Amino acid sequence: MTRAGKNILFRALLIGPALLAITVFMIIPLGLMAYISFRGRDYSGGVLWDQFTAEAYVRLFFESELDGTLALNFNYMYIILRSVWLSFLTMVISLAVGLPVAMFMATRDAKWKAVLVFMVTLPFWTNLLVRNYAWILLLRDHGIINSALLWLGIISEPLPLLHNSFAVAVGLTYSFLPFMVLPIYASLEKIDLRLVEASFDLYANRWQTIKRVILPLAFPGIVAGCVLVFVPALGAYITPELLGGGKTLMIGNLIGFQFGAARNWPFGAALGMFLLALVLTSLWLYARRYRGDLERLQ
Amino acid sequence: MNTSTPSSTQEPSSTQAPCAVSARSLSKVFGSGSNAFKALDNVSVDIRENEFFTLLGPSGCGKTTLLRLIAGFEQPTSGEVLLDGEDLSAKPPYQRPVNTVFQNYALFPHMTVAENISFGLEMLGRPKDQIKSVTANMLRLVQLEAMADRRITQISGGQQQRVALARALAPQPKVLLLDEPLSALDLQLRKEMQLELKRLQTDTGITFVFVTHDQDEALTMSDRIAVMNGGKILQIGTPREIYDKPQHRFVAGFIGEINLVPVEAMGAHDYAIAGVGSLRSDEASVVPKGDHAVLAIRPERIALSAPGPGKLPGVVTNVVYHGTDTIFHIRLADGLELRARSQNNTARIQSFAKGDQIGWTVDAASVSVLADDPS
């Protein structure tokens, strides 16, 4: 074999495993999803492979009347908007709660840090489903919170805490909070304490130091945390299913419904593609907005 | 401490310029119980206005702790820090009119050179146009005008050093604290920066408190030096006093090379070296007649010649050539050796070789007398 030939073979062998993994785990499933979304619907479940149609995408915005004409239908858009709104709310609450937690953790001594990081990751050790059921016990009409408030005489009727957007937001925040805390903690922990001393030395008080030195330096962690909370929250399935009680649907539930009871695979796939487009667009907007800030910290 | 040596840690504050910073019986203990470490042990010192004052000592001697107590990063275990006579104890670092140049500069990586320099002025709430003009002045002062909009990561170590200096000087502090600011620079740059720092101190008239373990740096730049060891200040004086008149064995040994010769006091100014002869010192004895003392003699103050009357005898055991000078190792008696440094003022071949019998003398002004205790 020629020297150049050997070189190409060598490179192919090196790239091979990564390429294979990307193909099997990303390109094929995504391609399949895109493909199915443009196929005809088999009412018994599955797909009419030989029929090309964009019907699934039309269905996102329109419904066909009995006479065959199309009318605007905002039902799906409404669910998608609620998903975005709830995910955004989850991200904001997680940031508001997670940032002080991460700051507290990062300023403890080494022994305490290890314990606190362990405690933050503790929920991962058990099943998400079980933890969401636990929230039902807390939030339902005769649950722990309502019972306690009734017993204390603060309220006379149980508060509607379960099966609404509030319950879903609480559940999502609870589920994804560690994904906000950990990256922020990691970036705070890397900050050189002498920079904080330098800031104090240059007449910045505690608040000014947080605003001008600590937060800008923790910015990559904050961005990572927001992305890690927002993106999976957008596709959440279990939490809105259990805590939303079938009334507060999110995209995840809608997709699940299409592949299950509704037997409309192409529409489920189209919803998946739409979700993907939504995530990519928000990440792109995010990146465009904060690229400069991230680059200056490289 | 003996009464004949002026108490080095308790200098009268009335001399010359008024005090900028005073430490009063300052102690700092880190940890507690069996892990307790006394970093600073009852230190008192008065630093004058417009003075270039250096804290010199080996690592762990407490010099950085003293600096951090003045800056307010640490709280003293006991004692107090006064600035212009006012007690600073209750003030956090951001309320002290003192700025620090940190050992590794601690520049803000997310800001430009100019943003770093203007940070202190902004935090003080100075008007925008003033911030702008002072920052421009500072950039000019440290010759970094062309770098104003660069990121900290885009400039060299020497330039970062100058930014750190400009950032600390911009708010015009009463006192500038410098924590080994030159230690990360290479030798050539360090020499340049030594002169530049001294120039800046003279130009700005700000009191500099400079921490270093480098004796050359201390001798070159300082108006006064405090030599520290084991959490205490052993001696305070001008570079000349510290070098020529060390009052402690530690001070004598830490600054430059020195010969320590055990002797017996014969009178107020005369000392006997057993089996060799006697030496005179201008300094009055620190011990009574008949007691042991130690003479400290710098190698370059020893004059070598052929043996003769009025000279002390010795034998050359080694000759080490150093270019500008030559070091002679001279054996006086069993177990007693001296080093003498002789300037190579001419290219003539040195007249002494290994094994030669020689005579040596020392000017009485160049002989320091120390108590014979191991401190």
Q: State pLDDT tens for residues A203-213.
A: 999 999 999 99
Whole-number mean pLDDT of chain A?
Answer: 89
- Contact of A211 with chain B, judged by CB distance below 8 Å, is answered with no
Burial of B120 from C-beta contacts in 10 A (0-12 / 13-18 / 19+): buried
Which residues of chain B does A219 touch, with a Cβ-Cβ cutoff of 8 Å?
A: 110
What CA–CA distances, in Å, run from B138 to B143, B148, B182, B305?
8, 10, 19, 56
Output phi, psi for B154, to 5 deg.
-100, 5
Q: Out of A81-90, A167-176, B15-24, B233-242, pick the least confident.
A: B15-24
Domain annotation covers residue A230:
yes
Q: How far apart are CA A25 and CA A295, in angstroms?
A: 30
- Contact of B314 with chain A, judged by CB distance below 8 Å, is answered with no
Number of domains within chain A:
1
Parallel, antiparallel or unpaired: strands B259-265 and B292-297: antiparallel
Return the residue of A nearest to B103 by Cα. A194
Digitized pLDDT (tens) for each residue of chain B, 375 residues in all: 343 444 444 444 444 557 889 999 999 999 888 888 999 999 999 999 999 999 999 998 999 999 999 999 999 999 999 998 889 988 999 999 999 999 989 999 999 999 999 999 999 999 999 999 999 999 998 889 999 999 998 999 889 999 999 999 999 999 999 999 988 888 888 888 888 889 889 888 899 999 999 998 999 999 999 999 999 999 999 999 999 999 888 999 899 889 999 998 888 888 988 888 889 888 887 788 888 889 999 999 999 888 888 899 999 999 998 888 899 999 987 778 999 998 888 776 657 888 899 999 999 999 999 887 654
Instruction: Look at the alpha carbons of B246, B252, B258, B263 in this order and tell me if their dihedral is positive or negative.
Output: positive
- Contact of B184 with chain A, judged by CB distance below 8 Å, is answered with no
B337, HSE (Cβ side, Cα atoms, 13 Å)? 9
Q: How far apart are CA B219 and CA B242, in angstroms?
A: 9
Determine if residue B172 is left, alpha or beta; phi over 0 gives left, psi from -120 to 50 gives alpha, anything else beta: left
Domain annotation covers residue A38:
no
Return the residue of A nearest to B111 by Cα. A296
* Domain span at A117: 75-297
- The CATH number of the domain holding residue A276 is 1.10.3720.10
Distance from the B81 Cα atom to the nearest Cα atom in chain A, whole angstroms: 16
Burial of A127 from C-beta contacts in 10 A (0-12 / 13-18 / 19+): exposed
Q: How far apart are CA B70 and CA B226, in angstroms?
A: 15
Q: Report CB contact under 8 Å: A297, B167.
A: no
Domain annotation covers residue A281:
yes
Domain annotation covers residue A1:
no
Domain annotation covers residue A19:
no
- Contact of B98 with chain A, judged by CB distance below 8 Å, is answered with yes
Q: Report CB contact under 8 Å: B171, A201.
A: no
Give the closest residue to B108 by CA, choosing from A206, A205, A198: A198
Distance from the A109 Cα atom to the nearest Cα atom in chain B, whole angstroms: 14
> Which amino acid type is present at position A275?
L
Give the nearest partner residue to B109 out of A199, A205, A297, using CB atoms: A297
> Which amino acid type is present at position A131?
R
Q: For residues A176-185, b (16+ Cβ closer than 10 Å) or e, as one string?
A: bbbbbbbbbb
Beta-carbon contacts of residue B147 (< 8 Å; ≥ 6 apart): B113, B139, B155, B159, B163
Give the nearest partner residue to A202 out of B73, B92, B120, using CB atoms: B120
Judge contact between B47 and B209, C-beta under 8 A: yes
Give the nearest partner residue to A194 out of B106, B124, B167, using CB atoms: B106
Q: Report CB contact under 8 Å: B106, A195.
A: yes
Residues 185-204 (A) with a CB less than 8 A from some CB of B: 192, 194-195, 197-204
Give the nearest partner residue to A203 out of B102, B107, B123, using CB atoms: B123
Which residues of chain B does A203 touch, with a Cβ-Cβ cutoff of 8 Å?
A: 94-95, 120, 123-124, 171
Judge contact between B27 and B42, C-beta under 8 A: yes
Domain annotation covers residue A197:
yes
Report chain B's terminal Cα–Cα distance, integer Å: 11
What CA–CA distances, in Å, run from B347 to A120, B214, B235, B323, B325?
76, 32, 40, 10, 11
What integer pLDDT is reported at residue B296 of this predicted model? 92
Which residues of chain B does A296 touch, with a Cβ-Cβ cutoff of 8 Å?
A: 110, 151
Which residues of chain A does B94 touch, with a Cβ-Cβ cutoff of 8 Å?
A: 200-205
Q: How far apart are CA A132 and CA B132, in angstroms?
A: 56
Which residues of chain B does A220 touch, with a Cβ-Cβ cutoff of 8 Å?
A: none
Q: How far apart are CA B180 and CA B105, in angstroms?
A: 10
- Residue A61 pLDDT class (50, 70, 90 cuts): confident
CA A248 to chain centre: 17
Which residues of chain B does A205 touch, with a Cβ-Cβ cutoff of 8 Å?
A: 92, 94, 123
- Contact of A100 with chain B, judged by CB distance below 8 Å, is answered with no
Give the closest residue to A182 by CA, choosing from A125, A115, A290, A105: A105
Helix (H, G, I), strand (E, B) or coil at B70: helix
Domain annotation covers residue A253:
yes
Across the A:B interface, residue pairs with CB atoms under 8 Å apart total 65
Residues 134-153 (B) with a CB less than 8 A from some CB of A: 151
- Contact of A294 with chain B, judged by CB distance below 8 Å, is answered with no
Domain annotation covers residue A31:
no
Give the nearest partner residue to A296 out of B94, B95, B151, using CB atoms: B151
What integer pLDDT is reported at residue B53 of this predicted model? 96
Q: What does the pLDDT look like over A209-261, one tens digit per residue?
A: 999 999 999 998 999 999 999 999 998 998 998 898 877 889 999 999 998 88
Q: For residues A105-118, b (16+ Cβ closer than 10 Å) or e, as one string?
A: bbeeeeeeeeebbe
Return the residue of B nearest to A295 by Cα. B110
